[in-house]
Homo-oligomer: A and B are copies of this chain.
Amino acid sequence: MPSAAPQPAFVLIRPQMGENIGAAARAMLNFGLDRMRITSPRDGWPNQKAVAMASGAGRVLDYAQLFDSTADAIGDCVYVYATTARPRELTKPVFSPEAAMQDAAQRIAKGQKVAVMFGPERAGMENDDISRANAIVTVPVNPDFPSLNLAQCVLLMGYEWRRATEEVVPQTVSMEGDWAEQIEIEKLADHYETRMQDAGFFYPEAKAANMKINLRNLWSRMPLTRADVQMLHGVLRQMVRWKERGDE
């Protein structure tokens, strides 16, 4: 059984090499997708090379649905995206991968069935296939080297699907840790200032005040955990001990 979570079907149009079908299955499952559809695979079905390449994602192939034509493969879908490497003369909305998968997520949340079509290796989809899609998706590749393969294209669309639907993804900086409180930073700064004073660090006198501010600011600027603070105290204590031992 495919996963219960509503998701787009990824439709491989006339794929050629079994290895690429297997790699596409892995790329789908990396992002939690397991509804693969295939039209007229060149080397028949099932395909042992696909199974070998899919290792670990074999169930995506087990559940894959086979169709004779593009029209059949997307027959039950309300909205269909066609991924294309190059612009087409057909008049259609063009989405970035991100915008396409956000749109797909919204449609799926309303109960619509959607599909994303991927063309065969090298040639890509025929205009006859693309004319059946409601929109085109183009990946923003380097125009001088736009050679994404089938599984890479599946990977990027799967990634954007997950980004559009996954709540727990860290989108901005986050950092976990047992953070030191300000009073601990203050005590650390005091400890260093005192010892550096003893050591004759704040020299010449005219610059001492400014040097102290800079040293104090250094501790405040750093994101220190309690353990960091303890280690920094330890470093200083050990230097003092070393000095007091008086040996080399």
Q: Which residues of A contact B (CB under 8 A)?
A: 26-27, 29-32, 56-57, 91-96, 98-99, 103, 135, 138-142, 144-148, 152, 155-156, 159, 162-163, 166, 168-177, 223, 225
In the complex, residue of chain B having the shortest beta-carbon distance to the beta carbon of A152: B155
Hey, which chain B residues are within 8 Å of A135, CB to CB?
173
State the Cβ distance, A51 to closest chain B Cβ, in Å. Answer: 16
Q: Which of B94, B140, B163, B223 contacts A173 (CB 8 A)?
A: B94
18 of the cross-chain contacts (CB-CB < 8 Å) are A27-B152, A30-B142, A30-B148, A32-B142, A32-B144, A56-B145, A56-B147, A91-B176, A91-B177, A91-B225, A92-B175, A94-B175, A95-B170, A95-B173, A96-B172, A98-B171, A140-B162, A140-B166
User: Could you say which of A30, A31, A225 has the most chain B C-beta atoms within 10 Å of its C-beta?
Assistant: A30
| This chain's copy number in the assembly | 2
Hey, which chain B residues are within 8 Å of A139, CB to CB?
159
Q: Which of B27, B99, B169 contacts A96 (CB 8 A)?
A: B169
Q: Which of B94, B144, B159 contacts A156 (CB 8 A)?
A: B159
State the Cβ distance, A25 to closest chain B Cβ, in Å. Answer: 10
Beta-carbon contact of A145 and B175 below 8 Å: no
Q: Which of B27, B31, B93, B156 contacts A175 (CB 8 A)?
A: B93
Known contacts A142-B31, A145-B57, A148-B30: A163-B93 contact under CB 8 Å: no
State the Cβ distance, A32 to closest chain B Cβ, in Å. Answer: 4
Beta-carbon contact of A170 and B91 below 8 Å: no
15 additional A-B residue pairs with CB within 8 Å, beyond A96-B169, A96-B172, A159-B159: A30-B145, A31-B141, A32-B142, A32-B145, A56-B145, A91-B176, A91-B177, A94-B175, A95-B173, A96-B170, A99-B171, A99-B172, A140-B163, A156-B156, A156-B159
Hey, which chain B residues are within 8 Å of A138, CB to CB?
170
Separation of A92 and B146 alpha carbons in the complex (Å): 35
